[in-house]
Amino acid sequence: MISIYFFTAIIATTLGSLAGLGGGVIIKPVLDTLNHFDLSSVSILSSCTVFAMALISTFRQMKNGFQVQKQMIVLSIGSILGGVLGKHFFDLFLKLFIDEQIGKGIQALILSVLLIITLLKNKLPKHKISNSYFIFFLGLFLGGIASFLGIGGGPINVAILVIFMSLPTKVAAINSVFIILLSQFSKLSLLIIESKIQTVDIKILLFMVIGGIGGGILGAKLNKILSEEIIEKIFSISVLGIIVLNILNAIKAFT
């Protein structure tokens, strides 16, 4: 069974690092489908794995010449604060929904809607926003929704960067992983302070983090090698598959 978690982690984070998907957007619905863990544990496993991927991938991209622009720093600061707020909203969400399955179904529906919007990113009007306040609030939204859903926020990050900053998908993917790194760092810091990481199976967590590290290395290499067109196709196909999985999870939760 551990091998399933390991391969889920490495496949998800390879796609996450390569196309900016983050990995959590794949890990969460897969773990929900397996139904071996409660919502809180799924969120912790996903966040730890995605953070490991983002840390390694960002380091590799910086070695390849990636430089963090001022706008990305502002966006990331907003994302860090958003990650903290999203964590508190998630805790409130758990208290509101005693039925775990209903909670998973609601998360799956929210994620499906957001992912459908990301598929339309190239058809929507493009903007080149430079206002720091607007960029900060974009980061706040990205970090908050990612932390609440426990997904890292990759495809949503990419869509926002393409639509509001006119970045090519390949460049947006690299910046998305950097944003994920900081937003997940804030969330994990809170989990450590609240001693919640110890509540999950440490052996499974370790294997998933190792998978995340491997995915971060492999995805960063592929991002450098593959063309913009191929990465765009991988992004779209992956997001479409994730939407289908989330819709199936939502139907299962409500029936």
Evaluate if residue 149 carries a pLDDT over 90: no
Rounded to an integer, the average pLDDT of 55-61 is 86
Q: What is the mean pLDDT of the chain?
A: 84
The dihedral through the CA atoms of 198, 201, 203, 206 has a sign that is: negative
Q: What is the pLDDT of residue 98?
A: 58
Give tens-digit pLDDT for 203-213.
899 999 999 99
Q: What is the pLDDT of residue 58?
A: 87
Evaluate if residue 119 carries a pLDDT over 80: yes
Q: What is the pLDDT of residue 85?
A: 85
Instruction: Count CB-CB contacts under 10 A for residue 129.
Output: 14
For the chain, give every domain's residue range. Answer: 1-254
pTM, whole model, 2 decimals? Answer: 0.79
Tell me how far apart the alpha carbons of residues 15 and 253 are, in angstroms, rounded to a whole number: 27
Tell me how far apart the alpha carbons of residues 220 and 248 are, in angstroms, rounded to a whole number: 31
User: For residues 169-183, b (16+ Cβ closer than 10 Å) or e, as one string?
Assistant: bbbbbbbbbbbbbbb
